[in-house]
Every structure is written in C-alpha cells, then in structure tokens.
Amino acid sequence: MSTERNQKSESGFEIKPIYTEADLENWDSSQALGEAGQPPFTRGIYPNMYLGRTWTMRQYAGFGTAAESNQRYKQLIQNGTTGLSVAFDLPTQMGYDSDHPLAHGEVGRVGVAIDTIEDMRTLFDGIELDKVSTSMTINSPASILLLMYQLVAEEQGIPAKKLNGTIQNDVLKEYIARGTYIFPPAPSLRLTTDIFAYCSKEIPNWNTISISGYHMAEAGATPAQEIAFTLTNGIAYVKAALAAGLAVDDFAPRLSFFFVVRTSFLEEVAKFRAARRVWYKVMSDQFGAKDPKSLSLKFHTQTAGVQLTAQQPELNLVRVAIQAMAAVLGGTQSLHTNSFDEAIGLPTEKAARLALRTQQVLAHETDITKSVDPLGGSYLIESMTDEIEKQILEIMKSVEEIGGAVIGVEQGFQKGAIEESAYRIALEIDAKKRIIVGVNEFVSQTEEPYSPLHVDLALEQEQVARLVEIKAKRDNVAVDKFLAQIEQAARGSENLMYPLREAIRARASVGEICATLRKVWGEFTPSDGL
C-alpha cells in the first residue's frame, strides 16, 4: 500500500492539514453565507430545511415487466418510501418498442419495459398518484412517458394539477456522458421547451427537467466539473426556453437538478453549497429572475454507483451511508441510496429495503436533522465552498467562451475533459495512490458467493406478445391519423405535446412515435471529437 497520502481534493485543489480563522480572513459572511432560505442560498433553499419534514426518500427501481415493477413499488411504499423513481429499460430510453430487432436481449434488463399506455397503467396499478411523488429517469422520449403518466392519473380520477414529480428530460448530458440520445440537439431542445410550456399550463406542480450532473460524475467528472457542466447545460435550457417565447419566472421555478454524492464527504458537502450559490448568481445576474423559486437550486441526489464494488459487496453499505450523510448535510431535497448489491446485478428486495432503511436511520436516529446547515461556518467547509465555487466559475467561463453548452457538445469539449479526469483516476487506482478497499488494497482471498436478482429472459417474449396483441386490437386507422398529425407538427412549430397526447391515448407505442419523429428530425451522429 502506498504510504504517500494524497492531500488533493477530487477537484484538484490542496486540502490543508488544518484550517483556521485566517483562512476566512477576507470572507464576507453576509455575502457568502447568509441565512437558509435566503439568497445566495448557501445554507439551503428553505429556512427550516429538515426541521419540519425530511427530504424525500426516493428509491430508484424498475425491472422486467410493468407488473413486476409494480410489486416492487408497492413493497417500497409499504416500507416507508415517500417517492418513487422509475428506471426504464434501454429500448424504452432509446425510443424502440420491445418487438424491435435492436431491443432483443435488452427488454426489461436495466429497467422496466414501457411500450404503450397499457404498460403505464399496469406499472401504477393500485398506487394513488396524488399520494406519491414520482421521478422518471427518461430523456429523449420524456414527453411520451410524462403524457402516459398524466393520462393514467386522469383515468384514476386525479387531475393533472395534483400530480407531483420530475422527468429527467436532460438530453444535453446524454451527448456528453451517457449516450441514450435519439435526435440532434436542436429538435431535442425544442421538445424540452414544449414540455416546459405544456406543464406550466397543464401540470403546474411537475418539475419539467432534472438537469443532471450524476452521469457526468459517474463517467469521471470531478466535483467542480460535475457542477460546472451541469449548470452550463441549465443555462442552455433557460436560453432555449426564452428563445421560444417563455418568461423566465414562468418556467424556472420548475427546474430541478440531479447530482451524485461520493465518499469524499467534506468536498461533497461543500460542492452542494457552492452549486446553490453559483446558480443564484446565474439566475439573478444573467437572466433577471425575480421569483425566489427561480433563484434557488433544488436538487435530487443519488449515492455513487461507480464507487460500488463487486468485491466484498457488504462494504457498499458503509459507502452508501457515508455518501447519504454528505447529501443530507449538503442540503439535498430528495435522495436515492444505492443497494449494496448493484455492482453484481439488479437489487434484491432485501438490499433495496436496507438502502431505504439507511436513509431512515439518518433521518430518525441521528441529530443531523435537528439544526439547519450543521457544518455552516466551519473553517474547512467554508474554505472548500469558496475554492470549489472558483473552479466551477472558471470551467463555466471556458464553456461559454467556446459558444456555450450546445457548441461544446457538438465539439466534444465536455466529454473530452471528463475522459481526461477518468483516465487520471484510473492511473491513480492502478498505482495505489487512490485506495479502493477490497479492490486494490485490503483484498479478501475468500468471499462468500452472492446471488443477485436476475430477469427471466422469458419475460421479453411475454412483453412482445402483449405488445403484438395491443397493436392488433387497437384502432390502427386512428393511430395512423394521430401519427400523421405528430409528423405535421414536427415539421412546423406548434407544441408537440398535444398531438403526442392524442396518439398515446389511442395506444400508439413509444417506438412508433419516436420513429415518426426520427423520420422528420433524423438521429444524432457524434462528431469525430466525440
């Protein structure tokens, strides 16, 4: 094991052995710190934070068929989950139906297969949608899945105005780090702004986008890069909405963000505090927003999947607990805790329950929720917050200098920077300058076998058979008519959400709708730089 202790933070600045009052010599607490619930929101976006209620405990789940995932959701709710988070399978994320040749072998594997509104009905059968907050991790086809959810709620007798939740709907980060994009950036941004406009009228309590740094961090971004690239994406979405004629305070209150939380505990707490401060400055100074909800950065956090290990998987329980505490001390609004067995396979029911119980222990057995911003004023935390803020602003400036986030995506700027960071991390692990317990140090020679959850391949055949039956029994003349209306709207400038809604109501599938849009817009092809 290397005896050299790395004193650098994940973002690359030096961590001092001890911090004193001298480190805050030029620090203006009224400008940098303030009160919780007040600009610049360093201490949190609500005056009381968790004193009145805890963060939303949102567990990410979905696998196999809608019926199977429905049972897992009911188990999570029974165990105290206050928010559902839907994982969709890869074909759904890419806009393909389960019977498409490219979907073979992937149906229901990393999430639930949703082809038509019938699947969405099954997914939420017996779940009162006005009693839960639902997040859907979906990007390119986000409009379709949101409309399915709205229609299912209305079938339950629940008006859209009573729905609460979030769609990820952040396609820019797909080009940068994740890869589940379909259309080129320009039409993708049009869909995003159509959703903004639609929800402001139809589903006013819905968070229309979850601008995500999580996947960039999982790909190797430093904490400063994660925040900087995420906020520059946020700026691009705001500019697109303004260009579409929307007023900033009409849509900005429903913007939300999604970040990772790593085991680098202190830096993660500081990162969240800095992110709130920077976003406040962006929205007030650059866009002139006035509504406090437009100025305050609200975010969901997920513990770091990339830091889970298949070796000695029980250690992941420790990692997740540390990460979750950092998220809470950093002021998150909702939190997903990973299951300890996710590096091996899909989470088992027991592992998912343990992940939820981790949050419940933090909320009810510790004292970290009894005071707002418990680490505020710490010499170290405040110095780190300032340091990360400087780095975030420098990186954001570099993105703006090349023309903004969209130009950066097209040139591969953000992706290249993240890949450099990932390469550095890999070298440090190989050289044991970065210790991963159980992987490159403190390795166990004998490990007990572990049986993860597996998806039965026969489920794909069942899903395809259901889809074929739906397509045979529905009114296909009506479906074709509505698909033609979608094509016409895509060639024009009207809000696509309304023709999409009618096609979904007629049981048009995700794949059919996306194929119609592909016909008009084409698919995104990465440049050589990507």
Per-residue pLDDT averaged across 78-105, rounded?
94
Q: Which CATH class is domain 48-430?
A: alpha beta
Read off the pLDDT band of 458 (50, 70, 90): confident
Look-up of token digits 């390119």 = 140
Measured from the Cβ of residue 279, the count of other Cβ atoms closer than 10 Å reads 27
85, containing H or E segment: strand 83-87
Measured from the Cβ of residue 348, the count of other Cβ atoms closer than 10 Å reads 18
Torsion of CA 386, 391, 394, 398, to 10 degrees: -160
381 neighbors 269 (Cβ within 8 angstroms): yes
% the chain with pLDDT above 90: 87
User: CA 167 to CA 211: how far, in whole Å?
Assistant: 10
Read off the pLDDT band of 530 (50, 70, 90): very low
Residue 444 has pLDDT above 90, yes or no: no
Instruction: Convert the pLDDT of each residue in 120-167 to its tens digit.
Output: 999 999 999 999 999 999 999 999 999 999 999 999 999 999 999 999
Nearest one of 211, 260, 117 to 405, comparing CA atoms: 211
Instruction: Convert the pLDDT of each residue in 22-46 to its tens digit.
Output: 888 777 666 667 899 999 999 999 9
Residue 391 has pLDDT above 60, yes or no: yes
Nearest one of 149, 24, 127 to 77, comparing CA atoms: 127
Tokens of residue 512, six digits: 């059919």
User: CA 99 to CA 242: how far, in whole Å?
Assistant: 39
Per-residue pLDDT averaged across 339-355, rounded?
91
Nearest one of 93, 123, 122 to 107, comparing CA atoms: 93
pLDDT for the residue 2: 47
User: CA 308 to CA 317: how far, in whole Å?
Assistant: 9
Torsion of CA 127, 335, 421, 378, to 10 degrees: 170
Tokens of residue 445, six digits: 């020679």
487 neighbors 518 (Cβ within 8 angstroms): no
183 neighbors 247 (Cβ within 8 angstroms): no
Instruction: Convert the pLDDT of each residue in 41-86 to its tens digit.
Output: 999 999 999 999 999 998 888 888 999 999 999 999 999 988 898 9
Nearest one of 51, 57, 139, 63 to 335, comparing CA atoms: 57
348 neighbors 339 (Cβ within 8 angstroms): yes
Residue 452 has pLDDT above 90, yes or no: no
Nearest one of 96, 87, 107, 173 to 141, comparing CA atoms: 96
Q: What is the DSSP string of 64-106?
A: BSHHHHHHHHHHHHHTT--EEEEEBPHHHHTT--TTSGGGTTT
Per-residue pLDDT averaged across 385-399, rounded?
97
207 neighbors 256 (Cβ within 8 angstroms): yes
User: CA 460 to CA 472: how far, in whole Å?
Assistant: 18
Which of the two residues, 238 and 456, has the higher pLDDT score?
Answer: 238
Read off the pLDDT band of 527 (50, 70, 90): low
Read off the pLDDT band of 5 (50, 70, 90): low
Per-residue pLDDT averaged across 471-477, rounded?
97
Look-up of token digits 């986000």 = 142
Low-confidence winner among 294-303, 446-455, 509-518 (lowest mean pLDDT): 446-455
Spatial strand order in the sheet of 83-87 = 206-207, 164-167, 133-137, 83-87, 56-61, 334-336, 299-303, 255-261, 209-212
Residue 231 has pLDDT above 90, yes or no: yes
Tokens of residue 199, six digits: 């929800």
Per-residue pLDDT averaged across 329-349, rounded?
93
- Mean confidence (pLDDT) of the chain: 93
SS (H, E, C) 326-363: HHHHCCCCEEECCCCCCCCCECCHHHHHHHHHHHHHHH
User: CA 478 to CA 196: how far, in whole Å?
Assistant: 28
Read off the pLDDT band of 457 (50, 70, 90): confident
DSSP state of 178: I
> 87 φ, ψ to 5°?
-95, 125
Q: Amino acid identity, residue 392?
A: I
Task: Kindly tell me the burial class for residue 21, based on how many C-beta atoms sit within 10 Å of its own C-beta (0-12, 13-18, 19 or more).
Answer: exposed
User: CA 220 to CA 307: how far, in whole Å?
Assistant: 11
Low-confidence winner among 110-119, 199-208, 279-288, 440-449 (lowest mean pLDDT): 440-449
Q: Indicate yes or no: pTM above 0.85.
A: yes
pLDDT for the residue 29: 65
Number of residues that this document lists for the chain: 530
